[in-house]
Amino acid sequence: MDNQQQNQNLQGTSQMSAQESHGGHEMLDAHEAISGVVGTLEHYLLYQDHIQDPELKAMLQQHKAYLSQTYNTIVETLQTGKEPSVKTQTYNMAQGNDVVYGMQPSSPKTPAQSVNELNDQCISSFMMGHLKTCASAFTMTALEATNPVLRRVFADSIPHVIEMAYEVFQYQNKNQYYQVPQLKQQDMQAYMNSFAPIQNPMSH
């Protein structure tokens, strides 16, 4: 194969139609990320009838609405390679930012042995797991996506998935499902002061 033929096989993004401007690695990553959103939405369907706390149920409904629109935006961008008709939306969490620190005595946890034992603590933990998976998959896809629009849609969605996961954490924390221990004050100070800033960082 001569150089001219090789060059013809190496197409730049600008020479390709929008639908063709995706790399193979990107397609596999995007497929995994989208499947993660599908799995999250389908599991949320299973959870909604088992939730006891109206606050958690409202949170789940808000997550479902946001993730459904995000799914549509990603699928449209994947299929067209162009700006989606609905841009990435902002997710605004209902929870505050106050964290309760410290450990309260509690009984050791064991896995549920029947569906009836699945409570709001279990379900909020499942929700957190799904959102962590989505955030990781979106990040991995955005790092190596070749289509600039699809890359930006995934990248722009990451902070909002993080916001949803943080909202679940806040809910779990205030209900003592997710307790936050701290180091001793002396150890905490040692860690906080174990690094020093670079002097004149812009000159390096």
pLDDT tens-digit readout, 64-107: 999 999 999 999 999 998 999 999 999 998 877 889 999 998 88
Residue 64 buriedness (CB in 10 A; 0-12 / 13-18 / 19+)? middle
In order of their start, the domains of the chain are 22-97+117-193 (1.20.1260.10)
pLDDT at 16: 53
Residue 110 buriedness (CB in 10 A; 0-12 / 13-18 / 19+)? exposed
Q: How far apart, in whole angstroms, are the C-alpha atoms of residue 165 and residue 162?
A: 5
Q: What is the pLDDT of residues 183-194, one digit of tens each?
A: 999 999 999 999
pLDDT at 150: 94
Instruction: Please report which confidence band the pLDDT of residue 15 belongs to, taking 50, 70 and 90 as the band edges.
Output: low
Looking at per-residue confidence, does 141 or 17 come out higher? Answer: 141
Instruction: Express as a percent the part of the chain with pLDDT over 70.
Output: 90
Residue reference for tokens 């299973």: 46
pTM of this structure:
0.85
